[in-house]
């Protein structure tokens, strides 16, 4: 048995290494460059064809509650988006991409160009998104388009932030939701900023 295993190991070493195929974002786009607080940042996919998700991002079965599967549309009027739309938003200075996770998650790794506005602080920070405080709460007639994300389809931080924003007066039609979150972003091997 040992001789057979040794022969198989030697045969595997003699085979040529598998060629790495380029990993694009789309057929015609290998990367995009976005502005971040620390300057331009290129977003691309990991080029290792054998790359896999590890650690907490590979975990598929978190207990519900609290980690229940979130709806595609967390509130009426909100538009769900995918990675390509999110990449367009990251390149559009008129749109704010919001990482609504708590700071410890943000610091451990986020989407380049996203700003951290934790779901626990979202309503208090609507002024950063074009709303103005008034006697009745917030006047959000000049609110900017936003796209929110959190950890993934099982994470309730963005849906909670979105519902609180709408209750405070933010127009639902200016809110986009990237439900795949960091788990989906990492699954596709896209660039992560920070840890």
Positions marked catalytic: 150
Residue whose entry in the numeric block shows the structure tokens 């790495």: 20
What is d(CA 182, CA 108) in angstroms, rounded to the nearest whole number?
11
Decide if 49 contacts 20 (C-beta within 8 A): yes
- The pair of three-digit structure tokens given for residue 143, joined into one six-digit string: 């609110």
Which among 80, 78, 170 has a CA at the least distance from the CA of 117? Answer: 170
- The pair of three-digit structure tokens given for residue 129, joined into one six-digit string: 């998104």
- The pair of three-digit structure tokens given for residue 22, joined into one six-digit string: 């380029």
Decide if 152 contacts 178 (C-beta within 8 A): no
């Amino acid at each position: 048995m040992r001789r057979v295993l040794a022969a198989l190991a030697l045969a595997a070493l003699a085979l040529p290494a598998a060629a790495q195929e380029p990993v694009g974002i789309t057929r015609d786009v290998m990367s995009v460059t976005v502005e971040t607080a620390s300057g331009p940042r290129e977003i691309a996919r990991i080029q290792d064809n054998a790359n896999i998700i590890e650690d907490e991002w590979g975990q598929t079965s978190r207990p519900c509650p609290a980690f229940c599967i979130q709806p595609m549309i967390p509130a009426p009027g909100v538009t769900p988006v995918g990675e390509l739309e999110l990449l367009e938003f990251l390149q559009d200075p008129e749109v704010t991409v919001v990482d609504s996770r708590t700071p410890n998650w943000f610091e451990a790794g986020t989407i380049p160009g996203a700003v951290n506005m934790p779901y626990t602080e979202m309503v208090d920070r609507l002024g950063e998104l074009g709303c103005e405080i008034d006697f009745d709460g917030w006047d959000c007639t000049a609110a900017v388009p936003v796209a929110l994300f959190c950890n993934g389809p099982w994470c309730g931080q963005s849906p909670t932030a979105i519902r609180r924003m709408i209750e405070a007066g933010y127009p639902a039609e200016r809110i986009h939701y990237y439900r795949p979150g960091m788990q989906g972003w990492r699954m596709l091997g896209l660039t992560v900023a920070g840890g």
